[in-house]
Chains A and B, each alone.
Chain A
Amino acid sequence: MSDTFQQHPETAIEVADMDFHYGESKALKDIRLTVPRGRIVAFIGPSGCGKSTLLRCFNRMNDLVPGARVTRGSIHIDGVEIHSPEVDPVELRRRVGMVFQKSNPFPRSIYENVAYGPRIAGTKSKSELDGIVEEALKGAALWSEVESRLHESAFGLSGGQQQRLCIARAIAVRPEILLMDEPCSALDPVATAKVEELILDLKRNYTIVIVTHNMQQATRISDMTAFFYLGELMEYGATTKIFTRPERRETEDYVTGRFG
């Protein structure tokens, strides 16, 4: 791990006084939040409140959106301001992986999907790649299901398998932080349970930030929960506290389903 990790052993991500704009419209205001290392943090809140926007700030995915930018404050990952000029977004994304809401496998074989990250990072040896692919697929609890058809198209998999393949693809890069944007929203309950189990398993090696609309999911898997409302971070704390003794009215309405 990097030296910065030695200096900030507890903090993976630190957001300070951050504002974010899409063109003229402000999507996030005054966000202040710390993601501790090795924990699972859940982002909850009504649609359009800015959860995905903040998540995509962490790996600078918003760079792709024209006009989108951080207008105030800072984001430090491993103690480094990620918008500073010496940070290469490509390197950042290698250390901050992401799983998207809609599973998005590449139009290639299962093997090639998982091998993509290591390959572009320069791994050439076939045996090394084989090892990484197997490890990642096992890590994503998919290995036994696809072992026999590694070289078939990824589109032959079911929705839940595709999403776990996307997780395998993300962890094959061996990131330190894993961002997940509603990874289960398009899955049936059985597939969701499998992915949740997987996330809990991944916690041993990764810091995970997960956006979810499912309150039970947040309580089941997360250590900390952040509640967003209209672009603001309303409340952030231990998951049990947010769900049982919220401090703010809006949080209570939302977590009890009275929101509207």
Chain B
Amino acid sequence: MDSKPTSFATTGRSRKGEPFVWLTAAGLTMGVVLTLGLLGLVVTKGIQTFWPDRIQVFEIDTGAGTEKVAGYVVQERERRDPQGVDHEEIQIFRGNRELFGEKFAFFDRASIRSQEIPEDILLVERMEGGHVIARAGKILRADGTEVPANDPGFATSLDELIEKTDTKREELRRIEKIEIGRNAREVKELRSLERFEGSTPETQARLATLNEEFLKLDAERNLVRQALAGDVLLLDAVDGREIRIEAGELLHIFRPNQAGVIGRTGEMLRRVWHFLASDPREANTEGGVYPAIFGTVVMTLVMSLFVTPFGVVAAIYLREYAKQGPLVRAVRISVNNLAGVPSIVFGVFGLAFFIYFLGGVVDSWFFPRSEEPVFKSGGVLWASLTLALLTVPVVIVATEEALAAVPRGVREAALACGASKWQAIQRVVLPASLPGILTGVILAMARGAGEVAPLMLVGVVKSAPDLPIDGEAPFIHAERQFMHLGFHIYDLGFQSPDSEAAKPMVFATTLLLITIVVVMNLAAIIIRNRLRKKYATSSF
């Protein structure tokens, strides 16, 4: 086009400030990239934890000969030795803790003579001692018969063995945890009754029957234990040594090198399910995180139950009734600043006020006979209240804004219909501001579910024997300590003796925590959008 200037030709002024646009875009990009990077890392690492890798057998030159090692590659790295020579190293998970002591080992790539993927390698999960990687040896039955690995019935025998172990273990758990537990609790109650009111023939008789019952249960338990102990599985490690696993220890056997894509996917799903639905084992480094999921969700929900009415009522008073002036301004500023107080401070407050003071009062009123503190120790109720206090500013601020955003016309309409101020608020203003209030609750939930520091003071523990809600009357045990995913991550990553072994669990648990927070938020957002549709502000 001809470059003859017209009266509309640019003077350059229209592009003024364009660099700032780039700057803002760059800022946003940076934030997005960092967030995606974080999510990507957690998701890939978390999923890797569950995907069953092929097990390789390496022949390694030790200088004095060769040695065979079986395992899967965990990572590769470069290491510079004191002479300044670079070595390529691989880290292998080789399991078999009783043989090596460490479950992980580094090998120089240069020292690897050969590597292969033999079909017959087994990956065995057991109750204690971590995974075993070895070839099948034979099954030694309690009755003295044995089934060698080359027997055509070996695979079915092995499956039978595991199935039998599973049912027996379930039986044992039922006897120990439920029946003996119930028995012990009743004995304890009776004993404390006797101590305060003296023993009567009735209590003595009851105690005697309980003791009889206990003896019967104990005998039953020993029977099951014996049944579990009898059988043994012998395995041959690739370096020729033998590993002995009692059937009672056996959890699961998988042949990673034989399984196709479907088999491996199935194994992955099994692992995911196991992770979600079972209790932790071995100082939390193995097994699942079910109690922690449960604790996190229960605590977050109970917290929302407290924080929502409390925050909404406070905001209604502040915005609608309090005489706006210096005092209300000061209160508002304080509430806003409360959101900035380090969360550990709330933990300390919760410990001092809720547990020692309120818990002490509750105990002296309702449990004067209990030997141990009931409410005067950390528990899910106090933890929820502490977090409710921590998140209440979020709800107050959001509710105040939502109330302020209700159009004046709507309020006036309510009053013009002859409503009192409270009627107008209750039936018109509050419903109209419900979506905004829910936004505040969502933010509070997100904040509360991810909080760890204060919880360590008011009720979270590394491992809790019982869930805060179960089938045992009175079903809701608000005084019980509980597990929490956030604390679980901290505990696994920084408190466990074998942090290398716990690393995959850390990532998986992190992924899970993020997922749970997202799911809870999504649920709340869906509810809010429903309400918003219902209470949509006039488009006219």
Contact = CB atoms under 8 A, between A and B. Distances in A.
Contacts of A107: 410, 428, 431-432, 534-537
Interface in B404-420: 407, 409-410, 412-420
B539 to A, nearest CB: 6
Contact of B538 (A162, A170, A173): A162
Interface stretch (A98-106, A204-212, A222-230, A241-249): A98-106
Interface in B511-540: 533-540
A186 to B, nearest CB: 8
Contact of B412 (A100, A116, A169): A100
B211 interface: no
B435 to A, nearest CB: 10
Contacts of A186: 540
B427 interface: yes
B423 interface: yes
A98 B416 contact: yes
A106 B418 contact: no
A59 interface: yes
A169 B418 contact: no
A59 B418 CA distance: 10
Interface string A58-84: 010100100000000000000000000
Nearest to A186: B540
A59 B535 contact: no
Contacts of B412: 61, 64, 98, 100, 104
A153 B431 CA distance: 13
A106 B414 contact: yes
Interface residues of B, number: 25
Most chain A beta-carbon contacts within 10 A, residue among B407, B413, B417, B419: B417
B418 A94 contact: yes
Nearest to B434: A107
A91 interface: yes
A193 interface: no
B427 A105 contact: no
Contacts of A91: 418
A159 B414 CA distance: 19
Nearest to B432: A107
A219 B153 CA distance: 105
Nearest to A116: B417
Please classify how large the interface on chain A is, using the bins under 10, 10 to 19, 20 to 34, 35 or more.
20 to 34
A226 to B, nearest CB: 21
A116 B427 contact: yes
A203 interface: no
A32 interface: no
Given A103-B540, A108-B431, A153-B534, A93 B409 contact: no
B534 A93 contact: no
A61 B414 contact: no
B415 A64 contact: yes
A212 B54 CA distance: 84
Nearest to B426: A120
Contacts of A61: 412, 415-416
Interface string A157-172: 0110010001001100
B416 A93 contact: yes
Most chain A beta-carbon contacts within 10 A, residue among B414, B418, B420, B423: B418
Contacts of B431: 106-108
A90 B540 contact: no
A121 interface: yes
A183 interface: no
Given A104-B409, A107-B432, A120 B418 contact: yes
Nearest to A169: B417
Given A117-B419, A186-B540, 6 more contacts: A61-B415, A104-B407, A116-B419, A153-B533, A159-B540, A166-B413
Nearest 7 A-B pairs (CB), nearest first? A94-B418, A104-B409, A107-B535, A98-B416, A117-B417, A104-B413, A159-B540
16 contacts: A61-B412, A94-B418, A97-B416, A97-B417, A98-B416, A104-B407, A104-B409, A104-B412, A106-B410, A106-B413, A106-B431, A106-B432, A107-B428, A116-B417, A117-B419, A120-B423
Interface of A: 59, 61, 64, 90-91, 93-94, 97-98, 100, 102-108, 116-117, 119-121, 153, 155, 158-159, 162, 166, 169-170, 173, 186
